[in-house]
C-alpha cells in the first residue's frame, strides 16, 4: 500500500492488514524420529507470528499394524483403512505422534493443542465412495469450521493437526495430511493472511531434477504453465502445484514448497497468483 499524501487518508476495510498465519505441513518421517522431530520443533518454534503444524505418521502406523499382525495395504500412496487399521491410525496419529509433538512443543514454550477433525467438529468429511477401489474408512473433506480454531490461534494457541477427520455420525476417518493442511488453510484464510508451507525432501521445486540447488524461487500460474509445457515440471509435482493454485484461488496468500529444515527461513519455492 502506497502512503498517500492526503492527511485524512484512512485505509479502507478491504485494505486492513490481517495477521499472518503460517500453516506448515510435514510428512511422517521427520516427526517419527526423535532427533529430526526435535530439530523440526525448534525450527517451527522460531517462526514468528501465528502458526499451525499439520503432521503425518504413516511409518509408525505401518509399524504398529505389523506388530499387531495387520497388513498395511497402500493404493496410489493411500492406506486402505479397514476397521482394525482405523483403530491403528486413530491411536498412532491422534494419540502417539500428535501428543509427542504437542508435549515437545510445550517443552519449548509453544502453546500447542493437538486436534483431529472431530475435535470441536473443526473438519467434517465423508467416507470415500467405493469405486474400483474401496479405501475403507478414508474421508474426503466436506466442511471446515474454522471459527473456534481462529479464536484460539488469536489467543496464541498453536494447533497441531493430525491426519484424521470424522463424519459427524460417530466415525473417525483417515484423511491425507496434505488435504488437511490445504483445507485448513483455505478456511483460515477468512481470518488471517495465510502462508501454507508444504515440506518435502527437496529444497523446493527444481529446475533440474538432478541439481538439488536449482530451486525455482518464484512460481505464478503463467510460469507454471510455461514450465509444464517445457516439461521442466512434471510427474507428481503437477497435482501438488495444482492443489497449491487451488488454495491460492480460495484466498490463501502464498504457498511455499520447501524442505523442513528451511521452514523458519521461508526459503524454497514461493507460489503466488
DSSP letter string, 51-72:
EEEEE--HHHHHHHHHHTTPPP
Among 54, 92, 138, 257, binds a copy of itself (CB under 8 A): 92
Cα separations in angstroms, 199 against 55, 56, 138, 222: 10, 11, 23, 23
Indicate the DSSP class of residue 131.
S
Rule CB under 8 A: say whether 104 interacts with a copy of itself: yes
- Binding residues for a copy of itself, rule CB under 8 A, total 41
Question: What is the H or E stretch that residue 254 is in?
Answer: strand 254-258
> Would you count residue 30 as binding a copy of itself (CB under 8 A)?
no
Helix, coil or strand: residue 221: helix
Q: Which is nearer to a copy of itself, 68 or 133 (CB)?
A: 68
Choose between 99 and 202: whose C-beta lies nearer to a copy of itself. 99
Determine if 164 is a binding residue for a copy of itself (CB under 8 A).
yes
CB of 186 to a copy of itself, least distance (A): 21
Which three three-digit cell numbers place residue 35? 532427533
Task: Work out how close the CB of 227 gets to a copy of itself at its nearest, in angstroms, rounded to a whole number.
Answer: 42
141 lies in the binding site for a copy of itself (CB under 8 A): no
Please tell me the distance from the alpha carbon of residue 204 to that of residue 262, in angstroms, as a whole number: 10
Q: Does 116 bind a copy of itself (CB under 8 A)?
A: yes
- Longest Cα separation, the chain: 73
Cell of 160: 497441531
Under rule CB under 8 A, residue 72 binds a copy of itself: no
Q: Does 102 bind a copy of itself (CB under 8 A)?
A: yes
Q: Identify the H or E element spanning 85.
A: helix 83-89
User: What length does the chain have?
Assistant: 273
For residue 115, the minimal CB distance to a copy of itself (Å) is 8
91 forms part of the interface with a copy of itself (CB under 8 A): yes
C-alpha cell at 80: 486402505
Nearest approach, Cβ of residue 199 and a copy of itself (Å): 22
Residue closer to a copy of itself by CB (options 98, 179) is 98
How far apart (Å, rounded) are the C-alpha atoms in residues 81 and 132?
15
The site for a copy of itself (CB under 8 A) is made up of 64, 67-68, 87, 90-96, 98-100, 102-104, 106-107, 111-116, 118-121, 148, 151-152, 155, 157, 164, 166, 168-172
Amino acid at each position: 500500500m502506497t502512503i498517500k499524501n492526503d492527511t485524512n487518508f484512512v485505509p479502507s476495510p478491504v485494505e486492513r492488514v490481517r495477521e499472518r498465519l503460517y500453516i506448515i505441513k510435514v510428512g511422517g518421517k521427520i516427526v517419527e524420529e526423535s532427533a529430526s522431530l526435535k530439530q523440526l520443533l525448534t525450527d517451527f518454534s522460531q517462526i514468528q507470528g501465528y502458526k499451525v503444524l499439520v503432521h503425518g505418521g504413516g511409518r509408525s502406523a505401518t509399524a504398529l499394524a505389523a506388530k499387531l499382525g495387520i497388513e498395511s495395504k497402500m493404493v496410489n500412496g493411500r492406506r486402505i483403512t479397514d476397521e482394525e487399521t482405523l483403530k491403528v491410525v486413530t491411536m498412532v496419529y491422534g494419540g502417539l505422534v500428535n501428543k509427542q509433538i504437542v508435549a515437545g512443543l510445550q517443552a519449548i514454550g509453544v502453546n500447542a493443542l493437538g486436534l483431529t477433525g472431530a475435535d470441536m467438529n473443526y473438519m467434517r468429511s465423508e467416507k470415500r465412495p467405493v469405486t474400483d477401489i474401496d479405501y475403507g474408512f478414508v474421508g474426503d473433506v466436506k466442511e471446515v469450521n474454522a471459527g473456534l480454531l481462529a479464536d484460539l490461534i488469536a489467543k496464541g494457541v498453536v494447533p497441531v493437526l493430525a491426519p484424521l477427520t470424522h463424519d459427524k455420525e460417530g466415525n473417525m476417518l483417515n484423511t491425507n495430511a496434505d488435504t488437511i493442511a490445504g483445507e485448513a488453510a483455505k478456511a483460515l484464510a477468512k481470518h488471517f493472511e495465510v502462508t501454507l508451507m508444504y515440506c518435502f525432501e527437496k529444497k523446493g521445486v527444481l529446475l533440474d531434477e538432478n541439481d538439488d540447488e536449482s530451486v525455482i524461487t518464484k512460481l505464478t500460474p503463467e510460469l507454471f504453465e510455461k514450465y509444464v509445457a517445457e516439461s521442466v515440471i512434471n510427474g507428481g509435482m503437477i497435482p501438488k502445484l495444482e492443489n497449491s493454485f487451488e488454495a491460492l484461488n480460495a484466498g490463501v496468500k502464498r504457498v511455499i514448497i520447501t524442505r523442513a529444515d528451511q521452514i523458519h527461513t521461508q526459503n524454497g519455492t514461493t507460489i503466488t497468483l
